[in-house]
């Protein structure tokens, strides 16, 4: 069940909506009913009557979309009624864009425009061909303080519905608000011509609005002429920074609208001199920097924008989320986590921040943190299937060996006398859990008449959960194997080839006995919802490398050309102990040890070859290959002595490892010594 954001529960939303319906009905009974011709276009009376009709037929999406269009922008009380109607349909897991669009507008009218954007984006994702989606998303961007995106989105709406006078009106209004009277006048003029030919019920309403807009912008276009006449008069004093900043920002945004990214970025650099503390400028510069490949500059600009907006501004949360997404692209999940957490301080119910945080925590192998985040997501969106599946999968990952063994005994999957979990038993437990998460219990209930003997009931809180037992898993695999064979036969694969199929990573779908493997179960379960996508390989098809693996291979090849070589994970861990260096010290200059993940495993790359570029650039690294060679030779003893042995009565000299107090000791590497502070310090050139 999905709970709509902004309400404590869907039930409360429904009750609130019902109350507002009744209030609207009572008001309508005591006042004259407006005729169909009396109130065309947006208006409270027409909206109230539409909502009364919707109450009698709550699933009528055309009525609902009409209510979305008619909801006045300055009526939060009516927005609650629309939100309640949207929530009631979203509870039924309806994937029609109309209900998300209603939720979006209701939140926007409740003065929470930034919170409304995700619902409008969801509506756009569900139907990118519907004009109302572009109208509401554009107006929501405008209300959230992003006029550039508002104009861009409303212009896309005109492309979708070029014959609509309404589409031209809203674009013209946004252009006028942004200070572009020439383009606004052109849009008003085109819309007016369409409105005059339109015979619809709202044509007269929009015709009046378009005429008024055209008159305003025509007057605004006369102003430059007045300025040229005034140019003959003595020059006025030079404008202050505010005027210069406004002019610069206008030029910058005009270049953005033309999609001239290079010119826009160059102009924005100049705008910083006049408006260094403008959060909107920082927020609009950041994505330009990212698109130009300047990721580090872009992420800093997102973070600067968030700081300038302030912790209480929802636009700050949006900037933090963008910063986190950019850190993720840069492979720094730690900084991504930090930015997602800062975003959630401002907007604790933001789904984008919560989902991003969960993924980033998983990337850092913080499974308990990710599990907690998925639980939070499920409290806000109980119907979120991805969060439910990942929560169950992470619960499995975080169990200890003893807990897994207890679960297997409970499910009668291992002997009661077993005292320690064996590797094959751990694999069995994970296979049972994966099947259970994938719907094995429901599958058995539909397939096997005597299914009750194959599952186990367990009380969890006030609910009863059905668990898959060991015998139940065997029965599931038996029946699933037969169904999987039929599925692949239906796809034109010969019986002999079926048992040689592999998944996209190359793992076999069937074992030597002809039964589905856990990997095979996953492919078979997904084949019904893969929408025609091929998720398996025949014997003769090679395993394709992922984009991440291809990128990792390129990076490794480039490092090897500089003199880097791969060391194993045990060697890397031993290097940490032997050098007494923290991980971050080894990974930054002057050592520059690189860790590269290709989607399957992690590569540890160390500058290794004497005379190669990496060794010439980083003199401090010259010692480290000898540590690895010593380890490979079996010399793994690390002395804890603090001083060297005295020689012929001389005092012992203090022994130092590669790092001292968390920093590289460079007393014996003069090239790295700071010329001012002397030896024993390190300064980057």
Yes or no: say if 556 and 566 are a contact pair by the CB < 8 Å rule: yes
pLDDT tens track for 475-526: 999 999 999 999 888 888 888 888 989 888 788 899 888 998 888 888 887 7
- Span of 3-7, 29-33, 280-284, 420-424 with lowest mean pLDDT: 29-33
Helix ranges, 563-656 (H): 569-579, 583-587, 613-617, 624-632
- Structure confidence at residue 565 (pLDDT): 92
pLDDT tens track for 139-168: 998 888 888 888 888 988 887 777 888 888
- Structure confidence at residue 381 (pLDDT): 87
- The CATH class, in words, for 277-398 is mainly alpha
- Structure confidence at residue 139 (pLDDT): 92
What are the boundaries of each domain within the chain? 10-223, 277-398, 403-537, 547-641
- For residue 663, list its beta bridge partners: 660
Residue 28, pLDDT > 70, answer: no
Please give the helix or strand (H or E) that residue 565 lies within, else none: strand 564-567
Q: Do domains 10-223 and 277-398 have the same CATH topology?
A: yes
- Structure confidence at residue 679 (pLDDT): 36
Q: Read off the pLDDT band of 340 (50, 70, 90).
A: very high
Q: How far apart are CA 673 and CA 619, in angstroms?
A: 11
Higher-pLDDT residue of 420, 545: 420
pLDDT tens track for 513-535: 899 888 888 888 776 554 556 78
641-667 mean pLDDT = 62
Q: Read off the pLDDT band of 181 (50, 70, 90).
A: confident
- Structure confidence at residue 6 (pLDDT): 39
- Span of 29-38, 331-340, 431-440, 498-507 with lowest mean pLDDT: 29-38
pTM, rounded to two decimals: 0.40
Q: Sign of torsion, CA 310 315 316 319? A: negative
Q: Does domain 10-223 have CATH number 1.20.120.350?
A: no
Longest dimension (CA), the chain: 114
Q: For the chain, what is the mean pLDDT? A: 78
3-class SS letters over 202-271:
CHHHHHHHHHHHHHHHHHHHCHHHHHHHHCCCCCCCCCCHHHHHHHHHHHHHHHHHCCCHHHHHHHHHHH
451-457 mean pLDDT = 83
- Structure confidence at residue 195 (pLDDT): 83
| Reduced DSSP (H G I as helix, E B as strand, rest coil) percent helix, strand, coil of the chain, to 5 | 60, 5, 30
Q: Which residue, among 428, 407, 530, has the nearest Cα to 474 in the 3D structure?
A: 428
Q: Read off the pLDDT band of 433 (50, 70, 90).
A: confident
């Amino acid at each position: 069940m999905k709970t709509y954001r902004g309400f404590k529960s869907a039930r409360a939303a429904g009750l609130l909506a019902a109350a507002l319906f009744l209030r609207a009905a009572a008001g309508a009974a005591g006042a004259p009913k407006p005729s169909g011709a009396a109130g065309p276009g947006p208006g409270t009376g027409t909206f109230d009557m539409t909502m009364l009709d919707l109450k009698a037929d709550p699933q009528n999406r055309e009525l609902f979309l009409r209510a979305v269009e008619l909801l006045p922008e300055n009526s939060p009380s009516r927005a609650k009624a629309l939100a309640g109607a949207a929530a009631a349909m979203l509870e039924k897991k309806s994937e029609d864009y109309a209900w998300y669009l209603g939720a979006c507008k209701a939140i926007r009218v409740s003065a929470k425009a930034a919170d409304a954007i995700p619902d409008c984006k969801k509506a756009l994702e569900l139907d990118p061909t519907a004009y109302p989606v572009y109208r509401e998303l554009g107006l929501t961007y405008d209300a959230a303080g992003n006029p550039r995106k508002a104009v861009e989105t409303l212009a896309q709406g005109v492309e979708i519905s070029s014959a609509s006078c309404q589409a031209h009106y809203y674009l013209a209004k946004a252009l006028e608000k942004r200070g572009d009277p020439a383009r606004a006048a052109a849009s008003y003029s085109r819309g007016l011509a369409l409105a005059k030919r339109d015979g619809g019920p709202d044509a007269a309403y929009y015709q009046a609005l378009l005429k008024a807009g055209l008159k305003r912008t025509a007057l605004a276009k006369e102003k430059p002429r007045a300025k040229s006449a005034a140019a003959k008069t003595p020059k006025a004093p030079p404008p202050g920074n505010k005027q210069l900043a406004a002019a610069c920002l206008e030029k910058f945004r005009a270049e953005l609208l033309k999609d001239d990214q290079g010119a826009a970025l160059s102009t924005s650099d100049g705008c910083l001199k006049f408006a260094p503390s403008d959060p909107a400028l920082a927020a609009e510069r950041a994505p330009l920097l990212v698109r130009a490949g300047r990721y580090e500059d872009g992420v800093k600009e997102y973070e600067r924008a968030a700081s300038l907006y302030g912790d209480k501004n929802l636009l700050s949360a949006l900037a933090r989320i963008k910063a986190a997404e950019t850190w993720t692209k840069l492979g720094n999940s730690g900084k991504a986590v930090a930015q997602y957490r800062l975003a959630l301080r401002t907007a604790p119910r933001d789904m984008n921040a919560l989902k991003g945080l969960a993924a980033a925590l998983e990337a850092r192998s913080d499974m308990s943190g990710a599990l907690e985040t998925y639980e939070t997501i499920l409290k806000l969106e109980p119907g979120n299937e991805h969060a439910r599946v990942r929560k169950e999968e992470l619960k499995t990952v975080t169990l200890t060996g003893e807990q897994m063994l207890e679960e297997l005994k409970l499910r009668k999957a291992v002997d009661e006398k077993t005292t320690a979990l064996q590797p094959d038993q751990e694999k069995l437990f994970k296979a049972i859990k994966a099947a259970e998460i994938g719907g094995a219990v429901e599958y058995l209930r539909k397939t096997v008449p005597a299914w009750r003997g194959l599952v186990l009931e367990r009380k969890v809180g006030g609910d009863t959960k059905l668990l898959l037992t060991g015998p139940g898993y065997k029965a599931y695999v038996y029946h699933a194997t037969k169904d999987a064979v039929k599925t692949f036969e239906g796809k034109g694969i010969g019986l002999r080839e079926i048992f040689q199929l592999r998944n996209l990573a190359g793992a076999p779908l069937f074992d030597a006995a002809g039964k589905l493997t856990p990997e095979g179960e996953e492919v078979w379960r997904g084949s019904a919802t893969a929408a025609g996508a091929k998720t398996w390989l025949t014997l003769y098809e090679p395993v394709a490398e992922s984009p991440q693996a291809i990128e990792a291979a390129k990076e490794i090849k480039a490092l090897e050309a500089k003199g880097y070589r791969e060391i194993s994970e045990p060697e890397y861990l031993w290097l940490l102990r032997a050098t007494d260096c923290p991980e971050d010290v080894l990974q930054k200059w002057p050592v520059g040890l690189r860790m590269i993940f290709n989607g399957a495993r992690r590569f540890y790359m160390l500058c290794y070859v004497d005379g190669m570029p990496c060794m010439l650039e980083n003199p401090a690294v010259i010692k480290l290959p000898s540590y690895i060679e010593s380890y490979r030779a079996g010399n793994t003893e690390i002395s804890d002595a603090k001083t060297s042995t005295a020689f012929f009565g001389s005092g012992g000299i203090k022994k130092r490892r590669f790092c001292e107090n968390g920093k590289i000791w460079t007393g014996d590497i003069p090239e790295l010594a700071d010329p001012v502070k002397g030896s024993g310090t390190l300064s980057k050139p």
